[in-house]
């Protein structure tokens, strides 16, 4: 980690009584790892202190222990933490890689590979496993960051810590990116926010899965904590970035808030515009005749009131599944056009608040907070990676990939049946006919209960035509609406399309990427575009779950290591070798071809018009950690 940690929320003073109150409600599987490090006693990793296996996405707070064992663990943890507060050091301050993997394995009651121990060590802040340190970059280097969302904030914080002169250019009037733009009812994160948090900026979260307002406050808070506002131009649009072969810099043409144009010059250009940035609005015949209000979820107007209105919702992806339950009880009638079917997992922590004593423990005792995060990283990411691989001998590939994936299908199917209750007639309309995880798994925040409501109509067809206030579905049925909501996602495959990027010899990145076929080396660099880097670029997103913030941090650190290698070489420019770029993308495609997202019959927004997966990574989290740990100079061409 290049950044010195700061807390966005105030860190409370250590108080023994409050520690005991927190321990009394803490997650026991995480507490066992803390207890072992505090005491060094092997018994805490052995029976009878072995937790049960977490079911689904549940935190397994009580570990499946009897009340007597729970009480014993909590009492021992309170005593050990009190001794730590009194000055006793950790008995096991730096466990080995194998010990760390075993600790997580015990905590999860499932196998964790030894090599995963390194990423656990990095999360714990163990020096020998941290990011490779680099000398401060040379003075006089100017960097431009395009975008002030999560990626732009991360880049700005890192550049600031390294003493680099930088500016952030943002089209909106504040920080936040996707959380600034997506303000629709029910908008929230589908990743636990204790891992949807910068490693260098702890926060006191009120819920386990935060809603849009709290998320936006956090990211604004990070930007202000690290004083990024003074280095950011808001309400400013980048129109073109062009490589200047004479000056060996990027000329970036911007439109200022007053409408005037200006050209900025930068040695380093970091594009942090994100993937889910440009709304996808389908072309529907007659859309211009709609007599009511039409909105995209990413452009939700302030003050829009749906109360007592006839509302039509197009789409049942992540945003559709969030907005429908949030408004169903307010509207006169809700019509949902859902041409595709989605797998949705049980969501036991939906709208669940973090108890005040646990909030205190997470902020006041970093070791507990880190182990809690480590478990969340495993639960919501790498634990299912193996189950997403195709088994060529599996006898029913139309519905599952392998035995584990089939068990997931059966479990999710039972859950849907339970949620539909006496409306089993809806089963054929909602049960997917493709393997689980063929699209990003969604979290059920009341979707199935919503479509059961008497004022909700689920139309398993596309919206074919609009005539005034009448919406005509593909089956010919007609539906009236006062408000039309497009929950139709984004142009995810058309990355970097919000402005023109022109590299060496006048090559346009949009042409190199054939509009919707983006490729990059480790999601970061493209031949012919020196000193240009994309954060959250091609094949960096997470399809199998987890925190995009972790990937953004790793990639940002990697990009800065490239710049540092350039400085060490005494060069002014750096670009990836074409053969390295091609080989990496060949490996990306080969890995994806073995995974669920390329399963025959599966459609998802991860793929482009050619069927190639461009938006997400095939790699496990620890694999990406190794890929991004430090730039290999042999992968790059340096030119002075």
What is the block-wise mean pLDDT of the chain (640 residues), using blocks of 10 residues?
A: 76 90 97 97 96 86 96 97 93 95 96 91 75 64 97 96 94 96 94 92 94 96 97 98 97 97 97 87 95 96 96 94 96 96 87 94 94 92 89 90 94 96 95 91 92 97 96 97 95 88 97 95 98 96 86 94 92 97 98 92 86 93 90 95
Q: Report the Cα 357 to chain-centroid distance in Å.
A: 27
Residues paired with 146 in a beta bridge: 169, 271
Give yes or no for a contact between 176 and 220, defined as CB atoms under 8 angstroms apart: yes
Among the listed residues 349, 315, 318, the one whose alpha carbon sits nearest the alpha carbon of residue 187: 318
Burial of 530 (0-12, 13-18, 19+ CB in 10 A): buried
Query: How much is the pLDDT for 178?
Result: 93
- Go through the domains of the chain in sequence order and give each one's CATH number: 16-132+355-383 (no CATH), 142-175+228-278+492-639 (3.50.50.60), 287-343+399-433+436-486 (3.50.50.60)
Cα angle: 192, vertex 196, 200; to 5 degrees: 135
Among the listed residues 600, 620, 616, the one whose alpha carbon sits nearest the alpha carbon of residue 608: 616
Task: Specify the pairing of strand 483-486 against strand 293-296.
Answer: parallel
What is the C-alpha separation between 116 and 112, in angstroms, rounded? 7
Among the listed residues 182, 476, 187, 485, the one whose alpha carbon sits nearest the alpha carbon of residue 336: 485
Query: How much is the pLDDT for 553?
Result: 94
What is the C-alpha separation between 201 and 188, in angstroms, rounded? 20
Query: How much is the pLDDT for 134?
Result: 55
Q: Which two tokens stand for residue 371?
A: 């182990």
Query: How much is the pLDDT for 133?
Result: 54
Query: How much is the pLDDT for 136?
Result: 62
Query: How much is the pLDDT for 622?
Result: 86
What is the C-alpha separation between 533 and 537, in angstroms, rounded? 9
Among the listed residues 344, 325, 556, 288, the one whose alpha carbon sits nearest the alpha carbon of residue 456: 325
Give yes or no for a contact between 72 and 80, defined as CB atoms under 8 angstroms apart: no
Residues paired with 211 in a beta bridge: 188
Among the listed residues 311, 315, 319, the one whose alpha carbon sits nearest the alpha carbon of residue 290: 311
Query: How much is the pLDDT for 1?
Result: 47
Give yes or no for a contact between 270 and 162, defined as CB atoms under 8 angstroms apart: no
What is the C-alpha separation between 398 and 407, in angstroms, rounded? 14
How far, in Å, are 100, 374, 382, 483 from residue 546 at the CA level? 20, 11, 8, 34
Query: How much is the pLDDT for 127?
Result: 59
pTM (two decimals): 0.95
426 — phi, psi (to 5°)? Answer: -85, -10
For residue 75, give every residue at least 6 positions away whose Cβ sits within 8 Å of its Cβ, in sequence order, or none. none
Give yes or no for a contact between 546 and 517, defined as CB atoms under 8 angstroms apart: no
Query: How much is the pLDDT for 382?
Result: 84
């Amino acid at each position: 980690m290049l950044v010195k940690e700061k807390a966005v929320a105030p860190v409370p003073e250590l108080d023994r009584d409050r520690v005991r109150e927190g321990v009394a409600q803490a997650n026991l599987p995480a507490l066992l790892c803390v207890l072992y490090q505090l005491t060094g006693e092997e018994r805490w990793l052995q029976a009878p202190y072995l937790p049960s296996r977490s079911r689904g996405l549940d935190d397994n707070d009580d570990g499946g222990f009897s009340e007597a064992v729970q009480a014993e663990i909590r009492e021992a943890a309170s005593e050990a933490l009190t001794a730590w507060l009194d000055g006793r050091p950790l008995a096991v301050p730096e466990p080995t890689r194998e010990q760390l993997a075993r600790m997580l394995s015990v905590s999860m009651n499932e196998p964790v590979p030894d090599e995963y121990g390194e990423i656990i060590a990095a999360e714990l802040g163990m020096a020998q496993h941290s990011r490779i340190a680099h000398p401060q970059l040379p003075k006089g280097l100017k960097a431009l960051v395009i975008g002030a969302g999560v990626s732009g904030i991360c880049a700005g914080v890192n550049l600031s810590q390294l003493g680099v002169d930088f500016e952030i250019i943002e089209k909106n009037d504040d920080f936040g990116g996707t959380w600034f733009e997506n303000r629709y009812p029910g908008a929230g994160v589908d990743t636990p926010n204790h891992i949807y948090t910068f490693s260098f900026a702890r926060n006191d979260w009120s819920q386990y899965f935060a809603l849009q307002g709290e998320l936006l406050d956090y990211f604004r808070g990070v930007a202000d904590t690290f004083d990024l506002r003074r280095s950011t131009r808001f309400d400013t649009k980048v129109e073109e970035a062009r490589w200047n072969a004479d000056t060996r810099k990027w000329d970036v043409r911007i439109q200022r808030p007053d409408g005037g144009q200006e050209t900025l010059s930068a040695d380093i250009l970091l594009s942090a515009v994100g993937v889910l940035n440009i709304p996808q609005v389908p072309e529907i015949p007659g859309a211009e005749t709609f007599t009511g209000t039409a909105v995209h979820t990413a452009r939700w107007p302030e003050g829009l009131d749906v109360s007592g209105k006839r509302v039509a919702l197009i789409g049942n992806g992540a945003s559709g599944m969030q907005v429908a339950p949030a408004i169903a009880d307010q509207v006169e009638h809700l019509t949902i056009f859902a041409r595709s079917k989605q797998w949705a997992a049980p969501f036991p922590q939906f709208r669940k608040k973090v108890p005040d004593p646990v909030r205190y423990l997470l902020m006041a005792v970093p070791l507990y907070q880190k182990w809690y995060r480590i478990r969340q990283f495993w639960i919501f990411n790498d634990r299912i990676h193996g189950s997403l691989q195709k088994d060529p001998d599996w006898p029913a590939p139309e519905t599952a990939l392998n035995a584990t994936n089939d068990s997931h299908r059966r479990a999710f199917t039972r859950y849907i049946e339970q949620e539909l209750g006496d409306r089993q007639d809806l089963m054929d309309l909602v049960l997917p006919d493709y393997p689980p995880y063929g699209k990003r798994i969604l979290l059920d925040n009341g979707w199935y209960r919503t479509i059961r409501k008497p004022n909700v109509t689920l139309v398993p067809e596309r919206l074919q035509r609009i005539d005034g206030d009448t919406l005509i579905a593909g089956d010919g049925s007609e539906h009236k609406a006062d408000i039309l909501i497009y929950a139709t996602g984004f142009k995810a495959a058309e990355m970097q399309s919000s402005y023109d990027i022109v590299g060496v010899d006048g090559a346009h990145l949009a042409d190199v990427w054939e509009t919707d076929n983006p490729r990059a080396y480790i999601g970061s660099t493209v031949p012919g575009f020196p000193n240009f880097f994309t954060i959250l670029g091609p094949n960096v997103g997470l399809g199998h779950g987890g925190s995009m913030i972790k990937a953004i941090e790793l990639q940002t650190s990697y990009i800065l290591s490239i710049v540092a290698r350039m400085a060490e070489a005494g060069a002014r420019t750096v670009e990836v070798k074409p053969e390295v770029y091609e080989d990496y993308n060949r490996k990306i495609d080969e890995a994806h071809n073995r995974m669920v997202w390329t399963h025959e019959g599966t459609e998802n927004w991860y793929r482009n018009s050619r069927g190639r997966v461009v938006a997400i990574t095939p790699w496990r989290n620890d694999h990406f950690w190794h890929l991004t740990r430090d730039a290999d100079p042999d992968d790059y061409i340096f030119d002075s």
